[in-house]
């Protein structure tokens, strides 16, 4: 080997001097496209394999909440006690909390960054929190010191919360006016039989302190959603006796808030595959079906290991339910609550059917649903998700209602189970969810509704637009006209390409299910996802992740020609785009037969052209790239041979 090395060195030196003094250009290659593009080396908290490291930690937030809904003044008033467990290796002198109702003030950052003409994230400006009686305790020490800035509150402790499992409690009273326009995430809607209250971001909650950013304290502006720790919730909602309250988690006191008739119907629904009415359309105003005819009722709910809870309340609700069958043999319950304006077999009367099918599909295909209920609430909200509960458009029907119901329930997997940071990385929840929605729609009722994610070439107009932005653009920074593509469709298409074109179904599914299971109830970062998919699938995918998720380049594979060579054929290929891709082509012969050929992405490592020697004793009549048209190739004019560009 030593002799060979010297010989090779001698040849190289000879080559250098054989051309005389004339300078030579260095021949380039595409190695940069295949290199690692971000620090993914791993550490004690997050391994390079894409798994939590040996010292991974996250803090825990447990809540005890007691509130009253006033339907005359449209207010929420109550008390919260947060038990905060500091599992980090650092003492904490303070914690940050979110006060997202402060978005609904005239001088909030969210209000002041909303365009004059408005957008989807419009919000009232006459709301905001009133906070009182705050007490922050660590063991026997107590503090009432806090600072509020916009939608964030910093709570200080007299003594720090000890590291590695230390606990603190923060209690306070709070009150606010429920907005009508709640940024398309929550609010209230007047219908003929009453007001529908869609309550989310409805109590002060702790921000996340993690090993990547420390405190995650981005303000609540609009497009950016949420990032929260996990814990147990024990909460009570006092509402008018005429109201039906549906909520995340399990109802603890049905005998106190439900009539015997409704309880009997609920028991039937727990065993029924078809929808059972709990409150029929003609019974909405029948107070004999309430546990009380006047005054108030207090509804008590619990939910374990969740990052949030939400609820809906109204005297206008039709209410129905059915059981959900889970792969382990466990059961959950699908429920829908909607006004008579939303009733009908073409509309919300099928909501529970949709909900049941959606949750059962995702449980079977990816990861079992962990919550006791899956509630769909009709509201003046396009579609918004919370653990175990959605708010969907009250006017939605048919394919639209299926689509929004399925999408919002899909969010229980991303980001409710896999707890990514939505305020920064919308693509890790919206995009992943849009991807799994494609397969659930194909599956539902033998394809009753269309699923179009695989029609990627319908979107090439956006891919070539000068106004396009990268997937990695933070949602509050992006142009709202691009948000649908960069948060939802482009990342979903990226996963589709990995499954249907690059890795194949079996390798992708193994890796994706492993990612969900590994990061369930934890906080993955983008690098964790990239590392995990590579390690489990056994493929270096930096060339794809870098260009697709962290760039604005495009795919353009082409055929430069086909010519005979020593009884066989040379097929000349070119990569005119910025994103390298494996090459799949269908070769058709004069006798009518055909075969498929796949070339690995590594053909593009040295350059942007490649000659493939195809050995055959048949005559080639046609060659077509990407015959299934999975790739969003921005130039379909060079995908076939022969065509008007290639005439011998």
For residues 509-519, average pLDDT: 98
pLDDT at 28: 80
For residues 151-167, average pLDDT: 98
Instruction: Based on the fold, state whether residues 179 and 294 are members of the same structural domain.
Output: no
22 pLDDT band, cuts 50/70/90, is low
Q: Residue 367 above 70 pLDDT?
A: yes
Edge to edge, the sheet with strand 166-177 lists 141-143, 130-138, 166-177, 75-86, 60-70, 231-240, 296-306, 250-251
pLDDT at 340: 98
Q: Residue 284 above 50 pLDDT?
A: yes
pLDDT at 8: 44
Select from 349, 383, 408 the last residue of a domain.
408
E strands of 257-340, at which residues?
Answer: 276-279, 296-306, 311-314, 318-325, 331-338
Reported as type and span, the H/E element at residue 600 is: none
Which of 311, 261, 254, 264 shows the shortest CA–CA distance to 283?
261
Instruction: Based on the fold, state whether residues 317 and 225 are members of the same structural domain.
Output: no
Residue whose structure tokens are 């959603």 = 225
Instruction: Based on the fold, state whether residues 225 and 236 are members of the same structural domain.
Output: no
Q: Are 385 and 422 in contact (CB under 8 A)?
A: no
Q: Is the pLDDT higher at 645 or at 353?
A: 353
400 pLDDT band, cuts 50/70/90, is very high
SS (H, E, C) 452-482: CCCCHHHHHHHHCCCCCCCCCCCCCCCCHHH
Most confident of 32-46, 74-88, 471-485: 74-88
27 pLDDT band, cuts 50/70/90, is low
Select from 209, 229, 249 the last residue of a domain.
229
Q: Residue 196 above 70 pLDDT?
A: yes
Q: Residue 620 above 90 pLDDT?
A: yes
Residue 622 β-bridge partners = 588
pLDDT at 13: 43
Instruction: Based on the fold, state whether residues 598 and 577 are members of the same structural domain.
Output: yes
For residues 382-391, average pLDDT: 98
The domain tally of the chain equals 4
Question: Considering the domain boundaries, does residue 281 fall inside one?
Answer: yes
Token pair, residue 438, equals 């494609």
Select from 489, 516, 547 the last residue of a domain.
547
Which of 259, 264, 263, 311 shows the shortest CA–CA distance to 287?
259
26 pLDDT band, cuts 50/70/90, is low
pLDDT at 9: 45
pLDDT at 7: 46
285: how many CB neighbours lie within 10 A of its CB?
12
Token pair, residue 285, equals 């105003």
For residues 141-158, average pLDDT: 98
643 pLDDT band, cuts 50/70/90, is confident
Instruction: Based on the fold, state whether residues 64 and 197 are members of the same structural domain.
Output: yes
**How far apart, in whole angstroms, are the C-alpha atoms of residue 525 and residue 58?**
13
Which of 90, 92, 216 shows the shortest CA–CA distance to 143?
92
DSSP state at residue 178? P
Q: Which residue range(s) make up the domain with 73?
A: 58-229
Question: Considering the domain boundaries, does residue 441 fall inside one?
Answer: no
**How far apart, in whole angstroms, are the C-alpha atoms of residue 201 and residue 179?**
11
The CATH number given to whatever domain includes residue 73 is 2.60.40
Q: Residue 430 above 70 pLDDT?
A: yes
For residues 386-406, average pLDDT: 98
567 pLDDT band, cuts 50/70/90, is very high
Q: Residue 416 above 70 pLDDT?
A: yes
Token pair, residue 26, equals 């260095």
Q: Which of 58-67, 211-220, 637-646 has the lowest mean pLDDT?
A: 637-646
**How far apart, in whole angstroms, are the C-alpha atoms of residue 112 and residue 150?**
11
Instruction: Give Cα separations from 470 to 38, 133, 315 (angstroms).
Output: 16, 45, 45
pLDDT at 118: 86
Question: Considering the domain boundaries, does residue 13 fall inside one?
Answer: no
Instruction: Based on the fold, state whether residues 291 and 262 are members of the same structural domain.
Output: yes
Which of 368, 209, 373, 389 shows the shortest CA–CA distance to 313?
389
Q: Residue 4 above 50 pLDDT?
A: no
Residue 194 β-bridge partners = 191
Residue whose structure tokens are 């107009």 = 461
Q: Give the percent of the chain with pLDDT over 90.
A: 93
Q: Please give the distance of CA 538 from its chain centroid, rounded to a whole number.
A: 25
Instruction: Based on the fold, state whether residues 261 and 381 are members of the same structural domain.
Output: yes
Q: Residue 463 above 60 pLDDT?
A: yes
Instruction: Based on the fold, state whether residues 96 and 171 are members of the same structural domain.
Output: yes
Question: Considering the domain boundaries, does residue 422 fall inside one?
Answer: no
Question: Considering the domain boundaries, does residue 402 fall inside one?
Answer: yes
492 pLDDT band, cuts 50/70/90, is very high
**How far apart, in whole angstroms, are the C-alpha atoms of residue 216 and residue 207?**
6
**How far apart, in whole angstroms, are the C-alpha atoms of residue 205 and residue 228?**
8
For residues 483-498, average pLDDT: 98
Distance separating the N- and C-terminal Cα atoms of the chain = 49
Q: Which of 27-36, 179-188, 511-520 has the lowest mean pLDDT?
A: 27-36
Instruction: Based on the fold, state whether residues 592 and 511 are members of the same structural domain.
Output: no
**How far apart, in whole angstroms, are the C-alpha atoms of residue 337 and residue 313?**
9
For residues 366-380, average pLDDT: 98
Q: Which of 35-39, 193-197, 285-289, 432-436 has the lowest mean pLDDT?
A: 35-39
Question: Considering the domain boundaries, does residue 426 fall inside one?
Answer: no
Instruction: Based on the fold, state whether residues 250 and 368 are members of the same structural domain.
Output: yes
**How far apart, in whole angstroms, are the C-alpha atoms of residue 146 and residue 154?**
5
Q: Residue 25 above 80 pLDDT?
A: no
Instruction: Based on the fold, state whether residues 41 and 137 are members of the same structural domain.
Output: no
Q: Is 280 left (phi over 0), alpha (psi -120 to 50) or beta?
A: beta
pLDDT at 3: 46
Q: Are 487 and 426 in contact (CB under 8 A)?
A: yes
Instruction: Based on the fold, state whether residues 460 and 513 are members of the same structural domain.
Output: yes
Q: Is the pLDDT higher at 84 or at 17?
A: 84
The CATH number given to whatever domain includes residue 289 is 3.30.2010.30
Mean pLDDT of the residues in the chain: 95
Cis peptide before 289 (omega within 30 of 0): no
pLDDT at 24: 63
pLDDT at 11: 44
Question: Considering the domain boundaries, does residue 130 fall inside one?
Answer: yes
**How far apart, in whole angstroms, are the C-alpha atoms of residue 594 and residue 380?**
54
**How far apart, in whole angstroms, are the C-alpha atoms of residue 600 and residue 125?**
56
**How far apart, in whole angstroms, are the C-alpha atoms of residue 202 and residue 239?**
15
Question: Considering the domain boundaries, does residue 16 fall inside one?
Answer: no
């Amino acid at each position: 080997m030593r002799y060979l090395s010297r010989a090779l060195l001698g040849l190289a030196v000879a080559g250098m001097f054989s051309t005389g003094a004339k300078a030579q250009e260095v021949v380039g290659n595409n190695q940069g496209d295949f290199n690692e593009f971000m620090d993914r080396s791993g550490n004690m908290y997050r391994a390079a394999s894409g798994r939590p490291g040996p010292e991974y930690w996250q803090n825990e937030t447990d809540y005890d909440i007691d509130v009253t809904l006033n339907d005359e003044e449209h207010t929420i008033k109550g008390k919260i006690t947060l038990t905060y467990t500091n599992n980090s290796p650092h003492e904490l002198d303070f914690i940050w909390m979110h006060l997202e109702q402060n978005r609904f003030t005239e001088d909030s950052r969210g209000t002041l960054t909303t365009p004059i003409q408005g957008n989807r994230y419009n919000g009232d400006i006459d709301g905001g929190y009133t906070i009182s009686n705050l007490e922050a305790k660590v063991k026997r020490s107590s503090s009432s010191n806090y600072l509020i800035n916009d939608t964030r509150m910093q709570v200080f402790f007299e003594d720090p919360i000890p590291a590695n499992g230390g606990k603190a409690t923060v209690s306070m009273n709070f009150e606010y006016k429920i907005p009508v326009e709640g940024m398309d995430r929550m609010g209230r809607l007047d219908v003929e039989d009453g007001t529908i209250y869609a309550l989310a971001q409805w109590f002060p909650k702790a921000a996340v302190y993690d090993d990547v950013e420390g405190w995650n304290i981005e303000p609540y502006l609009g497009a950016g959603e949420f990032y929260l720790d996990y814990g147990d919730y024990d909460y009570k909602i006092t509402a008018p006796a005429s109201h039906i309250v549906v909520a995340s988690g399990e109802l603890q006191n049905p005998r106190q808030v439900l009539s015997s008739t409704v309880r009997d119907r609920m028991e039937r629904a727990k065993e029924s595959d078809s929808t059972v009415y709990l409150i029929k359309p003609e019974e909405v105003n029948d107070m004999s079906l309430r546990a009380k005819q006047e005054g108030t009722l207090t509804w008590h709910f619990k939910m374990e290991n969740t990052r949030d809870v939400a609820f809906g309340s109204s005297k206008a609700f039709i209410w129905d339910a059915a059981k959900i069958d889970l792969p382990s043999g466990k059961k959950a319950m699908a429920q829908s609550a909607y006004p008579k304006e939303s009733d009908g077999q073409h509309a919300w009367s099928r909501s529970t059917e949709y909900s049941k099918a959606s949750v059962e599909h995702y449980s079977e295909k990816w990861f079992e649903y962990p919550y006791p209920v899956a509630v769909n609430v009709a509201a003046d909200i396009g579609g918004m998700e919370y653990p175990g509960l959605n708010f969907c458009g009250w006017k939605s029907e048919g394919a639209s209602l299926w689509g929004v119901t399925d999408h919002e329930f899909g969010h229980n997997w991303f980001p409710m189970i896999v707890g990514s940071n939505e305020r920064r990385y919308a693509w890790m929840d919206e995009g992943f969810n849009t991807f799994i929605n494609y397969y659930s729609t194909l599956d539902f009722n033998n394809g009753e509704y269309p699923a179009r994610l695989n029609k990627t070439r319908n979107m090439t107009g956006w891919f070539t637009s000068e106004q396009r932005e990268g997937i990695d653009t933070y949602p509050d920074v992006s142009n709202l006209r691009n948000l649908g593509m960069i948060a939802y469709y482009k990342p979903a298409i990226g996963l589709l390409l990995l499954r249907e074109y690059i890795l194949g179904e079996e390798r992708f599914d193994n890796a994706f299910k492993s990612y969900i299971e590994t990061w369930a109830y934890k906080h993955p970062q983008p690098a964790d996802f990239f590392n995990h998919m590579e390690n489990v699938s056994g493929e270096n995918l930096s060339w794809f992740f870098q260009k697709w998720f962290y760039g604005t380049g495009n795919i353009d594979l082409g055929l430069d020609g086909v010519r005979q060579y020593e009884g066989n054929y040379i097929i000349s290929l070119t990569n005119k785009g910025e994103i390298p891709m494996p090459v799949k082509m269908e070769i058709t012969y004069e006798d009518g037969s055909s075969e498929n050929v796949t070339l690995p992405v590594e053909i593009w490592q040295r350059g942007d052209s490649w000659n493939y020697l195809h050995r055959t004793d048949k005559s080639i009549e046609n060659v077509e790239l990407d015959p299934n048209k999975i790739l969003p190739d921005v130039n379909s004019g060079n995908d076939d041979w022969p065509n008007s560009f290639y005439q011998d």
